[in-house]
Structure 1
Amino acid sequence: MAIHDLIHKGRDELNLENLLQVKNWMTPSPFCIKEGQTLREAAEMMIENRVDGLPIVTEDLQFIGIVTLRQALYYFVNGQENELVESSILKRNYAVINQFDSIFSVFSMPYNQLPVIDTSGMLIGILTKRDILDGFSKYIYRLQQKQNSAEVLNVILESAYEGIAVVDENGILQEFNEAYSRFTGIRRDDAIGRHVTEVIDNTNLHLTVKTAIPERGVVQNIQGQDMVVHRIPIIKDGKVVGAIGMLIFEGVTEIYKIYERLQENHIKDQTEERPFTLNKEQDSRMTLDQIIGVSDAMTTVKRLARRAARTAATVLITGESGTGKEMFAKSIHHLSPFATGPFISVNCGAIPEHLFESELFGYEEGAFSGAKKGGKPGKFELADNGTIFLDEIGEMPLMMQTKLLRVLQEREAERVGGIKKYQINVRIITATNRNLKEMVDKGEFREDLFYRLNIIHLHIPALRERRQDIPILLSYYIKEICDKYRIKTKSFTQEAISAFMQYEWRGNIREMLNSIESLVTLVDGPIIELMHLSESMRGFEKGVIEERKPLISKGLMEEAKMYENEREKELIIKALKTAGGNKSKTAELLGIHRTTLYQKLKKYNVT
């Protein structure tokens, strides 16, 4: 059987044909009456054993016929109860069946009891209408189980954080789950049916089918990032019919993190507990797999960031305050060709205007009153062969915008008070929580600088726009904060988590992190309940509890999924309106196949 059949016909083979065979539902060695006995004896036997009929057999169990309770009653009424049982079968009132027949084929026979005989004519069982109904009931149950198993497997595939891909014996993709789709940016519908080498970078999955050799924990570079993967052949009846590929970790960095945790635990066991003030300095390095988020919005941004990192192009990161713009900037730096150089961060909103130029480009000795002896290098010099991150670029004065534009164009700068220019070889990443396009329209930001900075644009979604990530963020940060304060790990009740998911979080992750830290330090017990949350969170929870009541009773992942579905439905309705109800145009606007659109319209009951 091909891998396509294994996947799309249930994965778990259930031999329903064998299940339906008569031998599985008949009553073996049934009560019988032998020829030569009377109808009275037959009636007494039927009453005693509570059956409606008895097979009539010879001494060597050869089947002759059936006597029913109704026939016996007829002879009793006519005073013939002492007649022999074989006299009641003057004409054929039965049909015989084989133990290998299907109950489907015998169901329509107009008899309440069906004798089952072997090839020699010996009676081996009896099949009643009730037996047939029991068989049908079990058959339907197994069909439902099979369907549920397929659905459960599909849910598991689509809920998995790891990317999962399945190929057939020819290396053609038969399964490509949502996690893999988000990571590669290739839609599932577009991936399935194509050769795996056309979809996944540097894959050997098609070779696994040929060699039948499993590979576990190997490193594969996908979209410029080293990933840890498994490749496992699928064997059916001694033949390789396909292979499964899995991204076990989001990146090799995850292995280092595991190793570091093992080391920390080992050291903790061998040394005395250190004072709270002697915390280990956090490594400033940051990679995308350390940024928490599995929602579509975050995985899309991560994918774009990976692609941006492979180039030297200037990147503009936008998003509300507290969304993690600097984390993305560091991640891009450490995945880029400039990773061996320094990462220099400059907060443009914190530098006084008269010091801006000297801070960015440095100054020579004696350039101004109070200048250090020997001068001072600027941020651009310090970032040589690395990355300079200009945070809050929207706060940069117009005069400095002009000088920055010239530096970007000429790739050289000059210290304040100096006469010699120096070359600039840095990667430039900027970030802002302001709308630069509106600032350009108002004359507050140079248009030419805006277009120079906006070569690659990454917009980090607000926390309220990716609510399904909140449970994962809560789980991570509560453990981190408990470890920080060296207290036993605490947990949230479902009601408290629901309130976290419903709150607007105008301060985004920074606000949520402060809330978690406050709760961890102030709540005495190990469980953080709804009543422990701030009044504003509880008030917001009460305001929307009726609207979201069905969500609160469900599991967290299911709750997050429902948020995602609501947003998807809204997008589809909006696209339909934009397309004037045209389904083909709507599918094109959404970037999905028309068949997929029809499925989603049916799913959300949208007409």
Structure 2
Amino acid sequence: MPRKLQLNDVMVPGLPAGGTEELPTLPENSVLDEVLPLLKRSETVIALDESGSPIGYTDLKTALDEIVLAYKKEKAYLEAILQTINDSCTVIDYEKRVVHWTEGAERIFSVQEEEILGKPITDFFEAEHLEILNTLETGSSVRNQQHHAREDLVVLINSNPVRLEDRVIGAVVSETDITSQIRLNNELHSTSEKLFRLEEQLRKTSPTDNPFSYIKGNSRALKRTLELTRKAARTDANILINGESGVGKELFAKAVHHLRETDTAPFIALNCGAISESLFESEIFGYEKGAFSGADSKGKKGKVELAKGGTLFLDEIGEMPLEMQVKFLRVLQEKRFFRVGGAKELDVDFRIIAATNRDLKELVDDGKFREDLYYRLNVVNIKVPPLRERIEDIIELTHYFLYEISMKYNRPIHGISQEVMQSLMNHSWPGNVRELHNVIERLVIFSDHGEIRIDDLPPEIEQIHTSAQSPSLLQEKGSGTLNEQLGEYEKNIILKELKAAGGNKQQCAANLGITRATLYNRMNKLGIEL
């Protein structure tokens, strides 16, 4: 931020005896950057007010004091920022020496700040693995690119050059470790198809004991919501489910219903946002034959009557008209109602689950939702977390939808690359699980020869590409027989552990969980020099 010019009193002794007419001048609200060129020509610069009268002056000493103070403040801000961020952040100068190295970098790369500061970064890492050097040399930026920082480490990288006027004087890079995400994706790829088929066979042959089986994910946020839902389902209390569109509120409602009702109890759903106000009463309460023009000659049962002995699920409850809210509240209180056009009062008993993506309390405050109905419905409140708050569930959901949809269209899919998966995990998902399902369906429809292409992602999802020198961990394919490929894989593991142990075979064997004798036998068999 430009610093405002600091002024000394214009009447201070020492100014030229002939006055200030021959000195350079600036407006009083000038900034430090504007006065520095003038101080190269004169030791003193006069500040003028709006009328052109001198009101103060600055000199070289005052300006230098301000420059030093500005430098100290900027340095303090920078250090606070670097100490606050969790991700790895590295800054190098034009000679490739490390200028800044955060705690996140220490964590990821196992190199301490005091070891690396002031030294060339190439002393610690191979140049071909350093995206920051490419940024320094070319002046180009990188955003959300996967990168192999080490053989066993994959990071999501952002980089920018540091520019001073027209010159690149350094580079900065931030890195987020995504190795575990890729490993999980790889493992899920090999098991998801088989698991999906087994689940489908199980559902077809026997009723499931777990009504939450269709709610996929293992994130902490989702597990907490499932736990609260199970507790609520052990009671007869009315339940209000909050959550954004597409999070799966109806799945939670059905799970509650199956937990606390018998197999024959009805589950009746009504989307309050999909019914015109004029039809609302007949939809909820039903009508007698001949109740109005166009009515069914036999009459019709309403949702509350159909839900008798079971569950009435009111989705988008915030869209229910105010007049209808009064009548519905009476049903909840008295357990009795009249059909439209009917003279006979009918008894009814059902449990209520309501859902909304709106803030009902705010609607109450605005006079758009009845307060008494709000408190009647909101006995137990369950909030379903949006997908962006449980990013780790995206991997499981993606694989589940991938195989579900590939079977639907009879289009076998071989897997999903890490760059596509990372793009999915980087998206904010305003449409939540429903949006993810639609995106996966699009990818399957556009797939060729079982391959999912990143270019087929919708334009609103940012495409994250891997760097040219960084092959995808999820797409590496071996050659040769299975035993040959397994042997090569085992050889690479042992070599990597030997390197990590500094050649100490006893330590290497301990790290691998085997005896030293077993290690020697495997090394001999695999052709690794002892």
Structure of greater Rg: 1
Higher relative contact order (CA 8 A, sep 6+): 2
* TM-score, normalised relative to structure 1: 0.43
TM-score with structure 2 setting the length: 0.49
